[in-house]
Amino acid sequence: MEEIVIRKAISKDQDRIFEIFESQDTKWDIPYAKQYYDDYFNDANPDDMVFVGMVDDNIVAVTGYCPDSDIDDVYWLNWHYTHKDYEGKGIGGNLLDHVIEMLSPKIRKFYVNTGSRLLNLRALNLYLKKGFKIEAVLKDYYGEGEDQIMLGIQF
C-alpha distances in Å from residue 124, one per residue of 80, 93, 116, 134, 150:
11, 12, 8, 9, 10
Prediction pTM value: 0.92
Per-residue pLDDT tens, the chain, 155 aa: give them. 678 999 999 999 999 999 999 998 777 788 999 999 999 999 999 999 999 999 999 999 999 999 999 999 999 999 999 999 999 999 999 999 999 999 999 999 999 999 998 778 889 999 999 999 999 999 999 889 999 999 999 99
Domain count, the chain: 1
Structural domain boundaries, residue 93: 5-154
Pairing outcome for strands 5-8 and 58-67: unpaired
Pairing outcome for strands 5-8 and 146-154: unpaired
CATH value at residue 124 = 3.40.630.30
